[in-house]
Chains A and B, each alone.
Chain A
Amino acid sequence: MPAFTIDVVYQLMPLVVLLVGGLGFMLAGAMTRSAGPLQRGFALATLFVTLLYVFKLWGADAGPILHGMLIMDRFALFFLVVVIICALGTILISNGYLDRFGLNRGEFFSMVFFSTMGMGVLVSAYDLISVFLGIELMSLAIYVLVAFRRRDFFSNEAALKYFIMGAFAIAFYLFGVSLIYGLCGSTNFEAIAVAVSERNLAQQPVFLLAIGLIIGAMGFKVSSVPFHMWTPDVYQGAPTPITSFMATAVKAASFAAFLRLFYTCFMASKDQWVGIIIVLAILTMTIGNLVALVQRNLKRMLAYSSIAHAGYIMVGLVALSVDDTKAASAIMYYTLVYAFMTMGAFAVVSLLERRADERGLEGGDYAGLGLRRPFVGLCMAVFMFSLAGIPPTAGFFGKYYMFSAAVDQGYVTLAVIGVLNSAVSLYYYLRVVVSMYMQKSDEAAPTYDDYATRFVTLVALLAVLWLGIGPSGWVPGVETILDWTRASLAGVLELSSR
């Protein structure tokens, strides 16, 4: 079978469009001093075209392509949609932000596109090496984006830390992959699954060692304790739109790969790895929430909150089961919901952030925001409620599905720990709300009249409410989304059981 038929190209179109967009903006960046409205419009349009191709591919639900390197199945497409939504949000938030911080260069969009494409590769990876390529493609662009405020010490330092830790982690990943390659003779997911069952590798120590190394590297990407330590520094130092991009898109794509890898290749060894994932999930939730309690800088607090949320999602990984897609579907739903609420929260943060020495980011800067800017305040309050998991917001239902999946699989203690952690998190999320509505501010931190960013907060607000209680209809509601996740997972399971 020839690897490159027209059908394969068609299936690769989302990635191709992103690649062309990336290259185009790189050229544009070389030729123009700053990215004008036209370029920004193009950036949005390109993403919409990608989205269009994704929707057209949804019906096909195709098998592996390029000798089993990639697979554009519904699972991949679902996460691709999440990632593209995040990219859209990032570009809209950065619209005003870049102007305010004097960063307005075409390369910015170029890097966003490359990194989105990397995520596309990552979510559709069907081979350990395409996972590696996807991670690298995504990360290399993000390193650049983190360092985008070139004169800013924090931004520099964040890029350095992220780079060193990223390279360090990927080396461990590759070491693990090489061991698996040695054992199975291939790096393809399907071939690995076959080899594991044929040669009875599930309990083989070297195989488990390899899984351990890969857990470490994946744990780094999703910022799980103790591989998380870069997260707060990098989230704090990066330009806010990029922070939100990392917290949402990078995390979603990494979890997609994590999920597919463990759901297909490593499921046979679940008894061996589930114990360690439980420990990591508990540590991640607990430490993330505890340290978030004592944070003053809002970006840093959200960074720890994102660590805690990674912990909640790992509860879903623990509850993975071949017989029941509930946990996996909960992870997918949670990723989507988390993307909206976090994107919205960072959009509000970017509205208050000012250029000089990290102003506008301390808790006190939010005093009285709810009264000064009722709309922005309301949005932020809803995002905080949702992150804390208070009904009827989507954050509550995300946690509910996740923990109930864990309970179904018998991990009651884990679910209880998760709920207790939610209670702890309430404290620091609500502190923001209290500050916004119940404190008076002497010197009011101004918010910018940035309509693109406000649009993001509005969309995120509606999504957070709709994904919580919205009925399915013309706009997809909770049930529709859960149906989609089930449809996606059916394909993944079918392939892995072949």
Chain B
Amino acid sequence: MHEAIWIIPLAPLVGAYINGKLAALYARRGRGPSEKLIAAIGVVAPLVSFVVACSVFLHFRGLEGAERMVIVDLFPWIVSGNLNIGFSLMIDSLSMLMVLVVTGIGTVIHIYSVGYMHGDRGFARYFAYLNLFMFSMLMLVMGKNLLILFVGWEGVGLCSYLLIGFWYKDLANAAAGKKAFIVNRIGDFAFLIGMFVLFVATSRMGEGTLDFVALRAMVSEHPQAFAATATAAGILLFIGACGKSAQIPLFVWLPDAMAGPTPVSALIHAATMVTAGVYMVTRLSFLYLQSDVAMAVVATVGAFTALFAATIGICQRDIKKVLAYSTISQLGYMFAALGVGAFSAGIFHLMTHAFFKACLFLGSGSVIHAMSGEQDMFKMGALGKKMKITALTFIIAAVAIAGVPPLAGFFSKDEILLYTFTSHLQPLGMVLWGLLFIGAGITAFYVFRAVFLTFFGERRYTDEVAHHVHESPLSMTIPLILLAVGSIFAGFLGVPGVLGGSNHLHHYLEPSIGLLAAHGDDVSHAVAAGHASQSAEVTLMVLSVLAGLLGIFVAYILYIRRPDRPAQLTMKLGRLYHLVYNKYFVDEAYDAMIVKPGYLISNRFLFNLVDVKIIDSIVNTIGVGTRLMGSLFRLLQTGVVRTYAFFFLIGILYVIYKMVG
């Protein structure tokens, strides 16, 4: 059974195909099959994947370390010269975890979507895209080589584009989709070059390859030879990851991506796709470990993004925007972890984040659904009484992200903070820790600001809206409950030793990123990171919990006890508030510095001068000249047969002259 892992990506692909056909049918006829059929196909497809994934997981349970590996070579894919790339899938510990997260949370969100998208004209289209996304994402995490990963990488990008612009009739949505696609392309470009660099480097070493297993063997054999490559390829690939995982400077697309349906935001723009970069870096951990520079870049960008995005989250009014910036910030935490060599901590946070952030998004979706599409938190309030399940699950997830023990976020975030603090990259590690520590407090503040504004306090909406406010249907609340349960318990997979746990996850992932230990001495001291004294560890832990609690307390004071204070503070801070409220004017800066000059150069210089004036005139001259020559030669064709005989004779005489003479 576990050999049949190809079913895992295939099932959603089949689902996407069938629903795509149904959507096309609907588009042509104006009416189509019932929503029930579409929903059944759409939900069963990821469910099948999940079941198969679980069976593989059970199979793995009895195996030790490196044995946890299934490889299926489907067919040779690109064979050309010394380039030989097979279409091969692989599941090891790391992929296993990712597949479980993707299919598990994916299935839950598919179920939620059935309720959320009820009655939408594009119901079949929606599920076709969503299934196609599942397929792409699974290819991404199951690919045995970098190229298949890249296919999945592009595939999820495409689906993201399609789903952001799902309600494409609103131009703003279509524009948001385009923005996401273009920003991602910038990253992908770097990603491609990174792949080329790797291929060239391995070609020089012997056989060019992009296969993870082969690459890893090669790197572990000649670690020194890969130092320069690791820096170049590592940074280039990380730029790709910045695009996909919304890190500085390519994060600008993610807030706009909230234009898509909320379940999409939960699945693609919080739980799975945006974590692709984290997965990729972890997958290539053996390579990154060869370069301190690349690692430092990853860690620094991650930590800065974590704080930067968190501060923007403070001032947002739109509930989904808050969550979007929160996602960017949390992804920053993950990258910070990867950068200091704590790969398993990064993946751990990826997993817990998938639960609580999906839960938050779906909760917000439930709220928006109830509020007839209103997303401004300042027009909500006191919803907790009317939407008990939504409120409860939302609060659980909020506590989880705030890092309050013993919920999921506490363990994973704490591990990251610990590893940054004790990183071998000192004093960088301390600075990063500081950033992340402040970020943790802010995180707790903005997420509870959202909680208090939405579910508590006074009612700030009209009676008309109030009339429609209701708890969401079961198909939406059950996923919420499932995810909330996950947010509570997922953290127990990685209880640190100091609290009496044994960090199961860390051991589980070890074979996939085991090189860390193998080179503990010379290349990386990251392994030593966990070896801080127990008292220090506990101190850090207490500090981070306190930061979280402080954040919650401040939010409570500002938005429940003294609801008049925020407005006063806004007035007082004036400029600073304006700056943060407008997201530091990053979009505007990009527009002024890159988009506008680029457009001007393209239009004035490249188009009007180079293309029209220079290239076109050269081409036209050649064209006219060629035709002129054709017309000249045509004059020889007199139509008189004796002329033809004459030219024949000339030809023969010339031939003879050349031959004999």
Q: Give yes or no for direct A-B contact (beta carbon below 8 Å).
A: yes
Identify the A interface with B (CB < 8 A). Answer: 160-161, 164-165, 168-169, 172, 205, 208-209, 211-213, 215-216, 219-220, 225-227, 229-230, 232-233, 272-273, 275-276, 279-280, 287, 290-294, 424, 427
Interchain CA distance A279-B655 in the complex, whole Å: 10
Q: Determine whether B77 belongs to the interface, using a CB cutoff of 8 Å to chain A.
A: no
Which residues of B lie under 8 Å from residue A427 when comparing CB positions? 623, 626
Chosen A-B contacts, 13 in total, with CB atoms closer than 8 Å, are: A212-B656, A212-B658, A215-B659, A216-B655, A227-B648, A229-B637, A230-B641, A230-B644, A279-B658, A290-B630, A291-B633, A294-B631, A427-B626
Q: Determine whether B634 belongs to the interface, using a CB cutoff of 8 Å to chain A.
A: yes
Q: Determine whether B629 belongs to the interface, using a CB cutoff of 8 Å to chain A.
A: yes
Q: Determine whether B373 belongs to the interface, using a CB cutoff of 8 Å to chain A.
A: no
Interchain CA distance A169-B648 in the complex, whole Å: 8
Interface pair B660/A208, CB less than 8 Å apart: yes
Interface pair A160/B630, CB less than 8 Å apart: no
Interface pair A209/B660, CB less than 8 Å apart: yes
Which residues of B lie under 8 Å from residue A226 when comparing CB positions? 647-648, 650-651, 654
| Interface set, chain B 521-550, CB cutoff 8 A to A | none
Interface pair B660/A219, CB less than 8 Å apart: no
Which residues of A lie under 8 Å from residue B645 when comparing CB positions? 164-165, 168
B648: contacting residue among A209, A216, A275, CB under 8 A: A216
Which residues of A lie under 8 Å from residue B648 when comparing CB positions? 165, 168-169, 216, 220, 226-227, 229
Interface pair B652/A172, CB less than 8 Å apart: yes
Interface pair B659/A272, CB less than 8 Å apart: yes
Q: Determine whether B636 belongs to the interface, using a CB cutoff of 8 Å to chain A.
A: yes
Interchain CA distance A107-B451 in the complex, whole Å: 96
Interchain CA distance A216-B633 in the complex, whole Å: 20
A276-B637 contact in complex given A212-B660, A293-B627, C-beta closer than 8 Å: no
List the 10 shortest-distance A-B pairs measured between CB atoms, nearest first: A226-B651, A290-B630, A229-B644, A216-B652, A212-B656, A293-B630, A212-B659, A294-B630, A208-B659, A212-B655
Interface pair B660/A290, CB less than 8 Å apart: no
Q: Determine whether B574 belongs to the interface, using a CB cutoff of 8 Å to chain A.
A: no
Interchain CA distance A233-B644 in the complex, whole Å: 11
Interchain CA distance A225-B652 in the complex, whole Å: 11
Interchain CA distance A205-B661 in the complex, whole Å: 8
Interface pair A213/B630, CB less than 8 Å apart: no
Q: Determine whether B639 belongs to the interface, using a CB cutoff of 8 Å to chain A.
A: yes
Interchain CA distance A211-B651 in the complex, whole Å: 14
A209-B656 contact in complex given A233-B639, A290-B629, C-beta closer than 8 Å: yes
Interface pair B637/A290, CB less than 8 Å apart: no
Interchain CA distance A293-B654 in the complex, whole Å: 27
| Interface set, chain B 191-205, CB cutoff 8 A to A | none
Q: Determine whether B603 belongs to the interface, using a CB cutoff of 8 Å to chain A.
A: no
Given contact pairs A212-B659, A276-B658, a sample of 17 additional A-B residue pairs in the complex whose CB atoms are under 8 Å apart: A161-B644, A164-B645, A165-B648, A169-B648, A212-B655, A213-B652, A226-B648, A227-B647, A229-B644, A229-B647, A272-B659, A275-B658, A287-B633, A291-B630, A291-B637, A293-B626, A424-B626
A143 to chain B, nearest CB (A): 14
Interface pair A273/B659, CB less than 8 Å apart: yes
Max chain B CB contacts within 10 Å: which of A161, A276, A290?
A290
A229-B636 contact in complex given A169-B648, A205-B660, A293-B627, C-beta closer than 8 Å: yes
Interchain CA distance A279-B658 in the complex, whole Å: 10
Which residues of A lie under 8 Å from residue B626 when comparing CB positions? 290, 293, 424, 427
Max chain B CB contacts within 10 Å: which of A165, A225, A291?
A291
Which residues of A lie under 8 Å from residue B647 when comparing CB positions? 226-227, 229
Which residues of B lie under 8 Å from residue A168 when comparing CB positions? 645, 648
A175 and chain B: residue at smallest CB distance: B652
Which residues of B lie under 8 Å from residue A211 when comparing CB positions? 659
Q: Determine whether B55 belongs to the interface, using a CB cutoff of 8 Å to chain A.
A: no
Q: Determine whether B602 belongs to the interface, using a CB cutoff of 8 Å to chain A.
A: no
Interface pair A209/B644, CB less than 8 Å apart: no
Which residues of B lie under 8 Å from residue A280 when comparing CB positions? 655
B430 to chain A, nearest CB (A): 59
Interface pair B634/A291, CB less than 8 Å apart: yes
A118 to chain B, nearest CB (A): 22
Which residues of B lie under 8 Å from residue A225 when comparing CB positions? 651
Which residues of A lie under 8 Å from residue B630 when comparing CB positions? 290-294
Q: Determine whether B643 belongs to the interface, using a CB cutoff of 8 Å to chain A.
A: yes
A363 to chain B, nearest CB (A): 14
Interchain CA distance A291-B654 in the complex, whole Å: 22
B585 to chain A, nearest CB (A): 46
Interchain CA distance A81-B526 in the complex, whole Å: 73
Interchain CA distance A208-B652 in the complex, whole Å: 12
Interface pair A215/B637, CB less than 8 Å apart: no
Interchain CA distance A303-B482 in the complex, whole Å: 75
Interface pair B641/A165, CB less than 8 Å apart: yes
| Interface set, chain B 285-344, CB cutoff 8 A to A | none
Interchain CA distance A273-B660 in the complex, whole Å: 10
A233 and chain B: residue at smallest CB distance: B639
Which residues of B lie under 8 Å from residue A172 when comparing CB positions? 652
Interchain CA distance A291-B631 in the complex, whole Å: 7
Interface pair B651/A227, CB less than 8 Å apart: yes
Which residues of A lie under 8 Å from residue B623 when comparing CB positions? 427
B629 and chain A: residue at smallest CB distance: A290
Interface pair A276/B651, CB less than 8 Å apart: no
Interchain CA distance A165-B654 in the complex, whole Å: 18
Interface pair A229/B643, CB less than 8 Å apart: yes
B632 and chain A: residue at smallest CB distance: A290
Interface pair B660/A294, CB less than 8 Å apart: no
A319 to chain B, nearest CB (A): 19
Interface pair B641/A161, CB less than 8 Å apart: yes
A216 to chain B, nearest CB (A): 4
B659: contacting residue among A169, A276, A424, CB under 8 A: A276
B298 to chain A, nearest CB (A): 42
Interchain CA distance A165-B647 in the complex, whole Å: 11
Interchain CA distance A428-B503 in the complex, whole Å: 72
Which residues of A lie under 8 Å from residue B631 when comparing CB positions? 294
B646 and chain A: residue at smallest CB distance: A229
Interchain CA distance A155-B643 in the complex, whole Å: 19
Interchain CA distance A273-B648 in the complex, whole Å: 18
B471 to chain A, nearest CB (A): 56
Max chain B CB contacts within 10 Å: which of A219, A227, A229, A279?
A229
Interchain CA distance A294-B624 in the complex, whole Å: 11
Interface pair B652/A294, CB less than 8 Å apart: no
Interface pair A215/B639, CB less than 8 Å apart: no
Interchain CA distance A169-B649 in the complex, whole Å: 9
B653 to chain A, nearest CB (A): 9
A158 to chain B, nearest CB (A): 11
1/0 contact string of B11-49 vs chain A (CB within 8 Å): 000000000000000000000000000000000000000
A215 to chain B, nearest CB (A): 5
A205 and chain B: residue at smallest CB distance: B660
Interchain CA distance A213-B623 in the complex, whole Å: 37
A206 and chain B: residue at smallest CB distance: B660
